[in-house]
Every structure is written in C-alpha cells, then in structure tokens.
Structure 1
C-alpha cells in the first residue's frame, strides 16, 4: 500500500471522526452548547452512557432560557406530544437529598426548576427528569425507569483544522498548504 495513501486515511480517521462525534448530526445548537434528544426510552444509566458515547453529558438547564429551549426541542422531536418524561443529568444516587448537578430550592444564585413538592423521593426516585405532565418542571424519578433523555455538549468557537500532506507525502501546516507552494 502506498505510504501517502495510508497517511491520508489515518488523517481522515484522526480528524474527521472526532469532529463528527463532538457534534452529532441531529444536534441543535443553543449558545455555547449543542443538544440532542435520545429518542429511545432508556434508563438513566444507559442515557448517561449514550451521551458519553457522543462526548456529551446528560443536560442540566442552568437558566430559564436554556430550560425553555430544551423543553421546546423535546416537544418538537415528538410533534408536541411526547409520551413520557426526559432524563437530565442530576441525581442523588450517592446520598439521599444531596443532589449532584441540580440545585435544590433556595440555593443562592443557582437556577432550579423543581415542580411543587419535588424532589420527594417517591418510590426511591434518585434521578432528575423534565416532567411531561408538569410542562417540563423537574421531578425526581426512579433511575431504572425507561424514558427519553437530552444530551449536551459544549461547542467551541475555535476553528478546527486537520494536518495535510504535501505532494511529497510529508505533513504540512495549514498556512503552507495553498496551491502557491
């Protein structure tokens, strides 16, 4: 196999594949983040894994506008009629009442959107969700239940580039890859 051909293949795998993984084709950009809905019903642990496979995390809204955006995105994905709730990234799995990544009512300078009387730990609920019956308010839900999920990844505004090979097969920097050299 030609060495130049092998280098081109390796560069393509090294440059294109990571870029595709950081921004799934069905991602929706909002601010500095991109979101995508997991459209199969999965438990919270599987949802977290699916997000991680795409170099993302289960989303946790940090502002009312982000909350509204995620909720509208979810509704659009299911023609305004989702059949169940939506996993987000907060939980109190390790210690009951000690919520990770989701603030509790009354915490200063932190956005929270818990429904009235939530979180309440009904039925051992330890994972956060956006509750379809309460128009997206947060609910604690049993982690082993299967519902949809929303993943979030940070989008960088930094331009990305890949190294290129010259006619001689050696790597060249982007500024030296023009046709004038």
Structure 2
C-alpha cells in the first residue's frame, strides 16, 4: 500500500491548507492564524510573523535590530504581503531589505538568504535623486509603493520571521 502525503502551503491572508491524499481520498484542513504562534507584539500573516520596530534606525542598524529580535529585515514578495505590512502602522516610511549597495542601479531584495524578484516601486523610482539613495522604504500611506532613499536616514523597520501555524482539524 502506498501512501502519498502532499502538503500545500498556500499563503492566503489568514490561512494555509494541507491536503492529505491517501488512496484517492482527499482531506483538507486549514491552519488557523493565531498571534499566539508568534512572539508577543509580532503579527501573524500567511506563514510568517511580522514586527514593526518601535525605534527608527539607519538601514544597516535596522537589519541588525531585526536579527537581534530573532528575524530578518523583510523583503516583501507580493502585493498582498506589501499591503499587509503597510497597514500595520501609520508611519510614513519603513525599511525593507532591498538595496543597490553592491552595484548602482542593480537592486537586490533578500528575504533572509533568498533573493526576491517582486518589486513595487512608485512611478519614477528608484531614481537616485538624492546623494546615495541606495536603500528602499515602503510608504505606509497611499498605494504603499517603494522609494529609494539614503541608507543613513532613520526609519522604522519591518522585521520578519517564520511563523509556527497551529493545525486545527
């Protein structure tokens, strides 16, 4: 007898789905999002936990602060994730892990060690209009799009860590 276990994690707003296939029978249970699966003051969405820092940092210090909190500076990978984090607070801008520090004009966004292809630049951005606009922020107002700014600015940061979904059958 062969048993096939197929796990599908669909990052929806508040749920994921597991499908267990045993001899042509499918059963689907949903993960219930519950902030208790994240550390206190972190917010659960999809399969991750998010925290907006209370203090403003330079971009490099924001990356370090997220590591100190047990996560990484977030690199957003979809319109839905971008919208979710932008609605967590009402500050003007928040750091994300996107920059062109290595090669001017070649923007890299990383979620931990994984490179992310998604971008959400405001019209005309990135424009390097100021001196050394090499780091990205997401605007939390309007259409939540990104801007390139100087890495030495002080802004709050979006930190991210893997969540631990709770299975309710």
Both proteins in one fold, TM over 0.5: yes
Q: Structure 1 regions of 5+ residues with no counterpart? A: 1-21, 76-81, 103-108, 160-181
Aligned counterpart in structure 1 of residue 106 of structure 2, from 98, 118, 127: 98
Cα RMSD for the two superposed structures: 2.3
Aligned equivalent of 2:44, options 16, 29, 50: 29
Higher alpha-carbon Rg: 1
Give runs of ≥4 in structure 1 deviating > 6 Å.
none
**Which of 154, 157, 160 is matched with 2:162 structurally?**
154
Q: TM-score, normalised by structure 2?
A: 0.67
Matched, 1:137 2:152: no
Q: Structure 2 CA distance, aligned partners of 1:154 and 1:25? A: 14
Q: How many residues align?
A: 125
Match of 1:55 in 2: 70
Q: Deviation of residue 158 (structure 1)?
A: 8.3
Query: C-alpha distance in 1, partners of 2:126/2:142?
Result: 13
8 Å CA contact 2:86, 2:141 repeated in 1: no
Contact 1:127 1:143 in 2 (8 A): yes
Alignment correspondent of 1:44: 59
- Residue deviations 1:53-80 (CA, integer Å, cap 9, x gap): 12211112111111110011123xxxxx
Question: How many Å separate the matches in 2 of 1:156 and 1:33?
Answer: 8
Cα distance in 2 for residues equivalent to 1:25 and 1:87? 21
- Name the one with the larger helix percent: 1
Shift of 1:45: 0.7
- Write 1 or 2 for the structure with the bigger share of strand: 2
TM-superposition CA deviations, 1:27-60 (whole Å, max 9, x none): 0000111000012111101100000112211112
Unaligned runs of 5+ in 2: 1-36, 111-115
1:113 aligns with 2:120: yes
Q: 1:35 to 1:132 in 2, by over 3 A?
A: closer
